[in-house]
């Protein structure tokens, strides 16, 4: 057996013929190598045997001089044995720790709650962040807020599972249920009510007294998927016999989509359009200035629309989802009045079911509303 020392001092051991007839090889073995030869050949004193062989061969003493002992050899071999023991310990460590390893795993990523952009997106994002923080604290489930670019973006994000929860308006929920399999968790309570209506707002100084007076005028809707900002007002006009073939231009001179309820009302105030479709408390909520609110009147009002709410996409774990629902039902005034007011001006939430939105489905059938592309 030869023990050869390579870079770093770590021993590499390989099989060779270790003959007593080659004493010139012994010095390279060091202390550990000599001990091995002693054990293998029952030699009590290798140095004495080496001296005898020197004399027998008549070689000069300096040709087979006693080597310096490689002190690192024993240290390295001892380290090797320790490494083997450590490896065995590491193999058994996961079993010994058991469930303790679970506590060291990376925390679950937060669930994403997307907001429908029915008001200024920048202000809504700030309010959404505050609401997400509150919901995280109350539920113990990490939540982050996101504002969609438009109404259809909410449905697409749920369908593609880029988000987990959504504040949806009534039509938005029906689409989310149909296109993404979402289920409603809770409904909003708004100014003590769980339903609202839509109206056509006009300036009081324009002399418009009835819905029929809007023929040939211009109108601002909010979004093609907005419940109070398009779907219900259009169904109302169709049932009144004023709009044909679901085409607003069969009654209005021009129809446009403003993107938000506030923008639609501002378009009326600044004379860019003659009328705007929005919900019954939109002026007080979005204009805030009583002087501006006083400039507006309304003509035509739709039947009641069930309030908006929060829905969840399919596939979410049941336990955290139940905690979120319990937390939502507990978030209410007066403790959380400030954060609720900043998002959509709501008071809190109540239990909800899919059946609550049957009237919305009926309105969508009349409008032949297609799934978002």
pLDDT value of position 96:
46
**Secondary-structure class of domain 198-303 per CATH:** alpha beta
Is the per-residue pLDDT at 16 higher than 90? Answer: no
pLDDT value of position 121:
86
Is the per-residue pLDDT at 324 higher than 70? Answer: yes
Cα separation, 33 vs 29, whole angstroms: 4
- Residue-by-residue DSSP string for 229-254: IIIHHHHHHHHTT-SBTTBGGGTSSE
pLDDT value of position 21:
54
**35-49, 277-291, 338-352: lowest mean pLDDT where?**
35-49
User: For 102-157, how does the pLDDT look when each residue is reduced to its tens digit (9 = 90+)?
Assistant: 444 567 899 999 998 877 888 899 999 999 999 999 999 999 999 998 888 999 99
What is the average pLDDT score of the chain?
81
* pTM of the entire predicted model: 0.64
Cα separation, 176 vs 313, whole angstroms: 8
| Sheet containing strand 111-115, strands side by side | 143-147, 111-115, 165-168, 309-312, 183-189, 348-351
Is the per-residue pLDDT at 68 higher than 70? Answer: no
Nearest to 110 by CA among 158, 142, 147, 157: 142
Nearest to 302 by CA among 368, 367, 239: 239
Q: What size, in residues, is the chain? A: 373
**Could you tell me the pLDDT band of residue 22, with boundaries at 50, 70 and 90?**
low
303, 154 in Cβ contact below 8 A? no
Is the per-residue pLDDT at 225 higher than 60? Answer: yes
Nearest to 185 by CA among 288, 339, 318: 318
Provide the 8-state DSSP code for 348.
E
Is the per-residue pLDDT at 158 higher than 50? Answer: yes
Nearest to 284 by CA among 294, 275, 293: 293
**6-15, 87-96, 324-333: lowest mean pLDDT where?**
6-15
Across 89-98, 119-128, 232-241, the highest mean pLDDT is recorded for 232-241
Q: Domain coordinates of the chain in residue numbers? A: 2-97, 111-194+307-367, 198-303
Torsion of CA 269, 275, 277, 283, to 10 degrees: 30
pLDDT value of position 266:
97
Cα separation, 308 vs 190, whole angstroms: 9
User: For 258-292, how does the pLDDT look when each residue is reduced to its tens digit (9 = 90+)?
Assistant: 999 999 999 999 999 999 999 999 999 889 899 99
pLDDT value of position 13:
36
What kind of fold does domain 111-194+307-367 have according to CATH? D-Maltodextrin-Binding Protein; domain 2 (3.40.190)
Q: 19: helix, coil or strand?
A: coil
**Could you tell me the pLDDT band of residue 29, with boundaries at 50, 70 and 90?**
low
Cα separation, 276 vs 203, whole angstroms: 10
Cα separation, 227 vs 266, whole angstroms: 19
The dihedrals phi and psi of 191, each to the nearest 5 degrees, come to 50, 40
More confident residue, 350 or 19: 350
pLDDT value of position 85:
58
**Positions of E strands within the chain:** 2-5, 11-14, 111-115, 143-147, 165-168, 183-189, 195-196, 198-203, 218-221, 254-257, 275-279, 296-301, 305-306, 309-312, 348-351
Q: In the block, which residue shows the tokens 């003509």? A: 299
Cα separation, 199 vs 202, whole angstroms: 10
Across 47-61, 80-94, 106-120, 311-325, the highest mean pLDDT is recorded for 311-325
pLDDT value of position 120:
82
Residues ≥6 apart with Cβ < 8 Å to 259: 117, 150, 222, 223
Cα separation, 310 vs 206, whole angstroms: 39
Domains 111-194+307-367 and 198-303 belong to one CATH topology? yes
214, 237 in Cβ contact below 8 A? no
More confident residue, 6 or 200: 200
Q: 284: helix, coil or strand?
A: helix
Cα separation, 283 vs 293, whole angstroms: 6
Is the per-residue pLDDT at 199 higher than 90? Answer: yes
Residues ≥6 apart with Cβ < 8 Å to 368: 246
Is the per-residue pLDDT at 167 higher than 90? Answer: yes
Is the per-residue pLDDT at 60 higher than 50? Answer: no
């Amino acid at each position: 057996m030869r023990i050869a020392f390579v870079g770093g001092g770590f021993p590499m051991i390989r099989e060779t013929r270790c003959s007593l007839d080659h004493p010139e090889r012994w010095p390279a073995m060091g202390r550990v190598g000599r001990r091995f030869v002693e054990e293998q050949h029952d030699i009590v004193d290798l140095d004495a045997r080496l001296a005898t062989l020197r004399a027998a061969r008549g070689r000069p003493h300096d040709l087979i001089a006693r080597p310096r002992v490689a002190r690192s050899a024993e240290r390295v071999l001892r380290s090797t044995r320790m490494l083997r023991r450590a490896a065995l310990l590491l193999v058994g460590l996961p079993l010994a720790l058991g469930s303790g390893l679970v506590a060291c795993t990376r925390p679950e990523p937060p669930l994403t709650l997307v907001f429908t952009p029915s008001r200024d997106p920048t202000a809504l994002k700030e309010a959404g962040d505050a609401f997400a923080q509150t919901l995280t604290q109350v539920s113990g489930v990490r939540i982050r807020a996101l504002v969609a670019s438009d109404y259809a973006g909410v449905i697409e994000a749920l369908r593609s599972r880029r988000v987990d929860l959504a504040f949806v308006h009534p039509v938005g929920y029906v689409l989310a249920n149909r296109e993404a399999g979402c289920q409603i968790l809770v409904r909003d309570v708004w100014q003590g009510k769980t339903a609202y209506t839509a109206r056509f707002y006009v300036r009081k100084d324009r002399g418009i007294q009835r819905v029929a007076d809007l023929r040939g005028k211009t109108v601002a809707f909010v979004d093609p998927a907005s419940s109070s900002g398009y779907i219900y007002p259009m169904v109302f006009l169709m049932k009144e016999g004023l709009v044909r073939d679901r085409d607003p231009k069969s009654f209005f001179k021009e129809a446009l989509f403003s993107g938000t309820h506030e923008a639609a009302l501002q378009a009326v105030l600044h004379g860019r359009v003659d009328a705007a479709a929005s919900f019954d408390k939109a002026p007080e909520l979005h204009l805030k200035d009583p002087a501006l609110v006083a400039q507006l009147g309304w003509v035509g009002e739709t039947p009641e629309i069930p309030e908006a709410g929060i829905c969840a996409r399919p596939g979410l774990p049941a336990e955290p989802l139940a905690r979120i629902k319990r937390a939502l039902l507990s978030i209410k005034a007066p403790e959380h009045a400030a954060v609720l007011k900043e998002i959509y001006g709501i008071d809190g939430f109540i239990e909800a079911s899919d059946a609550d939105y049957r009237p919305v489905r009926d309105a969508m059938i009349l409008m032949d509303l297609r799934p978002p592309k």
